[in-house]
Amino acid sequence: QLQLQESGPGLVKPSETLSLTCSVSGGSITGGSYYWVWVRQPPGKGLEWIGSIYYSGGSYYNPSLKSRVTISVDMSKNQFSLKLSSVTAADTAVYYCARGLGIRGHLDYWGQGTLVPVSS
């Protein structure tokens, strides 16, 4: 059974960079036609796609966040990571990592999510 687990600092200050890692277990990050995805959900609001990456490096980002987002893969650790720069209070959200079937497909496995407040 595939499992995903987010990890990272529990609090980020305004103007700093938010960094999260998603550890994948129970399967290889290089297997199949899967994309590895970051999604966030501000408190009380809906889901927002941040970006997706294929293990070989092809990546796609939400145009509204593209200038601040970097998603990368570490095949040796079976992990992928998110960096979001110049954060503000508007970036406070629960951040989820997930597996997607292709860039357009459904997200079949999700991490439990991690709340990242942005506050001084």
Partner 1 sequence: QSVLTQPPSVSGAPGQRVTISCTGSSSNIGADYDVHWYQQLPGTAPKLLIYGNNNRPSGVPDRFSGSKSGTSASLAITGLQAEDEADYCCQSYDSSLRVVFGGGTKLTVL
When the beta carbons of 27 and 103 are compared against partner 1, the nearer one is 103
Least Cβ distance, residue 101 to partner 1 (angstroms)? 8
Determine if 113 is a binding residue for partner 1 (CB under 8 A).
Answer: yes
Structure tokens at 106: 């459904």
Minimum distance, C-beta of residue 116 to partner 1, in the bound complex (Å): 15
The residues pairing with 23 across neighbouring beta strands, listed in sequence order, are 5, 79
- 3-class DSSP assignment, residue 86: coil
Q: Least Å distance between CB 35 and partner 1?
A: 9
Nearest by Cα to 72 from 87, 88, 52: 52
What burial letters (b/e) apply to 38-71, b meaning 16+ CB within 10 Å? Answer: bbbeeeeeeeebbbbbbbeeebebeeebeebbbb
State which of positions 49-108 bind partner 1 (CB under 8 A): 49, 52, 60, 62-63, 96, 100-101, 103-108
User: Is there binding between residue 10 and partner 1 (CB under 8 A)?
Assistant: no
Contacts with partner 1 by CB under 8 A lie at: 37, 39, 45-49, 52, 60, 62-63, 96, 100-101, 103-108, 110-113
